[in-house]
Amino acid sequence: MSRITNDNPPKRGEQLTSTELNQVFTEVNDAFPLDGDNVRNEGIEQPSFNLSGTSGKSGIILIAADDNTDTGTTIVPANEATSTPYDPATVVHTWSTLITFNSNKIMRVYWQFENVVAGSGNAQPITADTNATAWVVWLEWQLSSGGSWEEVPNQSDFEDLIESPATNGAVTYRTYGSTIVNHVYIHEHSGSTDVDFPPDRTAYGCWWYKADQNYTIYGLRLKCRGLIQNFYADNPVSGDDTNAWELVDSLSSTHQITIGSSNIAYMVMEEK
């Protein structure tokens, strides 16, 4: 372990100057530089990852990591279709990269994106009871060079048939690679109903997966669509009753989300 040596630390009762304070922080950084190696070692190999460990190490080793930033801007209009075929989802970030992801390895993908929504409180599907109206951004991968894109495991494109005859969307256990972005806030104020739309903000998401086979990944991307509303599927076409999201029809000329600068990062790890 590195030892921090302070040659002239500030003393109690003395006036603290910027020169003395900077010297202390410089000595700390000299002993433990905040570089890539130390961030990697201390951020991954922590005993908190393994509650039964006796060696002080987590047993998880970082194999590969990388990230990609897109500074472009994409406007995503709301879906207007009342049934299939729905208006297509919009790609908001594409990253062509080659990743080897073999069986039993662990992959973590993180993303973030700037966004701002626009809408009207008087336009469909907004009513006094629609606080859970939102947009969704989800992760997809490409498993062959120049091939098709598909949702990562445990992720839907929000067109699944949830209840017959025409309730499409995604059950919550198929949204593991999703970021849900709230579209509107509706609240009562002084006896009236107020509708507020959020300001510019940054949203975040993540997806973790332990490979069930060998994969070669040729790209990662984010797609976006909306509007969606939550509901309880008490008569699903398959499986047990469950919470779900429904893709609803809206006025695309009124409701939209603008996705700004975004970043995707991944880590591939293995257990040792």
User: Which residue from 154, 142, 147 is spatially nearest to 222, judged by alpha carbons?
Assistant: 142
User: Which residue from 141, 143, 260 is spatially nearest to 202, judged by alpha carbons?
Assistant: 260
User: Which residue from 174, 164, 157 is spatially nearest to 244, judged by alpha carbons?
Assistant: 174
CA distances from 91 to 88, 158, 236 (A): 10, 14, 29
What phi and psi, each to the nearest 5 degrees, are found at residue 28? -65, -45
**Which two tokens mark 86?**
């729905």
Answer yes or no: is pLDDT of 191 > 90: no
pLDDT at 148 (0 to 100): 96
Cβ–Cβ < 8 Å for 226, 179 = no
**Which two tokens mark 247?**
């893709």
> In angstroms, rounded to a whole number, what is the distance separating the alpha carbons of residues 36 and 215?
27
pLDDT at 164 (0 to 100): 80
More reliable by pLDDT, 45 or 264: 264
> In angstroms, rounded to a whole number, what is the distance separating the alpha carbons of residues 125 and 137?
19
| Mean pLDDT for the chain overall | 84
More reliable by pLDDT, 257 or 35: 257
Cβ–Cβ < 8 Å for 81, 249 = yes
Q: How confident is the model at residue 144 (pLDDT cuts 50, 70, 90)?
A: very high
Taking the model in full, what pTM does it have? Answer: 0.76
CA distances from 65 to 47, 57, 156, 214, 268 (A): 21, 20, 26, 18, 6
Where helices occur in the chain by DSSP H, the ranges are 18-31, 36-44
Cβ–Cβ < 8 Å for 100, 237 = no
> In angstroms, rounded to a whole number, what is the distance separating the alpha carbons of residues 30 and 104?
38
Cis peptide before 227 (omega within 30 of 0): yes
Gap between the terminal Cα atoms of the chain: 22
Distinct helix (H) and strand (E) counts, the chain: 2, 15
pLDDT at 115 (0 to 100): 95
